[in-house]
Amino acid sequence: MQSGPSIVKPRPKRRRRICRACDACYKRKIQCDAATPRCNWCHHHDIPCTFKRNQDRIQERPETYGSNTQRSDSTEIPIASQDRQSDPTLTQSRPELTFTVGPQSNLHVGGHALGNLCTFNGLPFFSGTGRQWIKERTGEDVNLQYTSPRPSTLDPSVPNGVAHAVPLPDKGVLYQLHDEWHHSVLSRLFPFIDRVLFDSTVTAAYHNETSVSSPGADSARACIHAFTTACLHSSDQQHGNRVIHAEDHLQAAHDLVPRMLHESVTIDGLQTVLMLSLCSMVVTGNILMLEMLLATAIRFVFHLNGHLAPVYIDDDQFRRSLHVRHLFWICYFMDKEFSLRAGHPPCLDDTQCDLTLPDIHHTAPEFLAGIRLAMLQSEVYHRLYSLKALRQTDAQLLGAIRDLDSALEIWRMSIPTDFRPRLIDRETNIMDTPNTLFQLHYLYCMGMIHQASGRCSVWVQNQDTSEAGSSLAISVEASRSMLQKFLDDRLDFNKSNLRFCLPYFLTAICHLFSNILFNPTHENIDDDLELFMSVPSHIRSRLPPKIPRLSVYQIKLFEDFVIELGRLASSAINKARRRSEQIN
């Protein structure tokens, strides 16, 4: 019997495996949350989030081997994958975005890194995807000339390595500045100098007579120059041409730092780098210099055992140890503040430090409030902005926001009623610097805590920041409150805290700008636009007669940046209204 022709049954086509993790997470064998348009890992590292590894490798190999050079030169990398494009809802709400590889990742304005500020859909401001999203909402390209991709230099006209021949100030003037500083508000917030130990510093700097407290003459001279700078920028008295002298002493202190580092680790050296850090934060706006100086100060603190509670041996030793402990707390405060502003991990690890608070009976209440605030800021960074925090589920993220909001309220209630911050205003005659700074810190922390809810996928898809009680609504309301307090002159705005204020105003303005782009047709949206557009002129009208040149540069950069945001916000409002008219 002859068998018929054999029938070869086709092999069943295997179903292609669905990618559960993006290519980057798959390669690193880490869990991927598959968030759109980028997962947490890709978002945090600012890299494209793709799902291409299951494409036909036979078709892919020739292209791969033949186009390596071309791909390496490309700067535009597609973000959305084919898997995500197949979903019509994702395609409609999130069109394909591109990520630009370039130097814009470290843009900063007014002493605040833009990379740590996010739009209300979780995209970092002015990253490649963030700029693309802004263009989709406004129809306009973002003008980046109003941001600073590199930190400002101390004095561009002076070649690197050329030291300033600036003499030490007259001792009579120095002690007059010291007395003014001792009675100033800033000395209670930043106790850089001990009155008794200061005499040893002066003796070493002016007479080369070193001691146990001041064992290095160069460190002592650098400390005197840095202290003179801090005093000249905060004092209201006249001691000659302040603007020129302050910047010259600042440059002289920087010039002495290399020689200071060749000496042993000293209290004078620690005081120097901390005061220079403060100047970088509030005078020059140089956040890279601030980061380097803070890292140096923290190593000094560890060498001097400032991270440990002081132990009494004798009176002189205990006075030095107690002062080093105060300098540690200044380090801690500035490190946590900078970490939250820049989105970088803090240099100080809380687990390696004794965080026992100072004796409340012998410590200024403003200083204690600042320490408690720094501890809260440390929690905000670790629970909302660290790499581990970016991998949280929506439920974990919202739980962290609730916990931190409660912790912020506990901190607020711990502050004396004389300068306790509030979200809702009440009439008060208090207009001093501590009240202003704590009010700004409170509203800033509230905004940074609640803006993180923009990473929740459910809220992003809803795109609603107006619902009463929602976390994003709280962020917007805190930003409105901050700017309105400033415009109504309910904040003390003067020479000593001028540069302190700009990063907080910048954050509030970015929150309102993001809210406008999300809700361009809201009935009160024009009020938000007018509110943040009024800030630059209000700052300009209240500037002191003489301020440092670098502060003028930073303020001009801030003004131009706000004007650019206003232009984009107006375009978003007009575009939305035209679309609404066409529909109707």
Q: What is the pLDDT of residue 236?
A: 54
CA–CA separation, 261 vs 216, rounded Å?
Answer: 10
Here the tokens at position 365 are 């209440």
Whether 97 is covered by a domain: the verdict is no
Q: Return the percentage of the chain with pLDDT > 70, whole number.
A: 70
Q: What is the pLDDT of residue 157?
A: 42
Whether 106 is covered by a domain: the verdict is no
CA–CA separation, 172 vs 426, rounded Å?
Answer: 44
* Higher pLDDT pick, 16 / 361: 361
Number of domains the chain contains: 2
Q: How confident is the model at residue 146 (pLDDT cuts 50, 70, 90)?
A: low
Q: What is the pLDDT of residues 275-327, one digit of tens each?
A: 999 988 877 777 788 899 999 999 999 999 999 999 999 999 999 999 999 99
CA–CA separation, 19 vs 53, rounded Å?
Answer: 8
Same domain, 240 and 340: yes
Cβ pair 210, 204 in contact under 8 A: yes
Q: What is the pLDDT of residue 125?
A: 65
Same domain, 341 and 384: no
Q: What is the pLDDT of residues 404-459, one digit of tens each?
A: 999 999 999 998 887 788 877 655 545 677 788 888 999 999 999 988 887 876 65
Domain boundary among 461, 477, 493: 477
Same domain, 234 and 335: yes
**Is the preceding omega at residue 37 within 30 degrees of 0, hence cis?**
yes
Q: How confident is the model at residue 25 (pLDDT cuts 50, 70, 90)?
A: confident
Whether 284 is covered by a domain: the verdict is yes
Burial class (CB in 10 A: 0-12, 13-18, 19+), 74: exposed
Whether 576 is covered by a domain: the verdict is no
The residue assigned the tokens 């035209």 is 578
The mean pLDDT of 26-34, rounded to a whole number, is 68
Element (H, E) at 294: helix 287-303
Whether 83 is covered by a domain: the verdict is no
Whether 484 is covered by a domain: the verdict is no
Same domain, 319 and 260: yes
* Residue 240: pLDDT over 60: no
Whether 525 is covered by a domain: the verdict is no
Average pLDDT score, the chain: 78
* Residue 89: pLDDT over 90: no
Residue 397, domain extent: 363-477
Domain boundary among 450, 477, 504: 477
Cβ pair 220, 269 in contact under 8 A: no
Cβ pair 99, 48 in contact under 8 A: yes
Short-list 36, 44, 103, 50, CA closest to 78: 50
Same domain, 268 and 344: yes
Whether 130 is covered by a domain: the verdict is no
Domain boundary among 438, 461, 477: 477
Same domain, 386 and 329: no
The alpha-helical segments, DSSP class H, found in 492-548 are 498-518, 525-533, 535-541
* Higher pLDDT pick, 142 / 200: 200
Short-list 23, 15, 36, 32, CA closest to 86: 36
The mean pLDDT of 171-183, rounded to a whole number, is 91
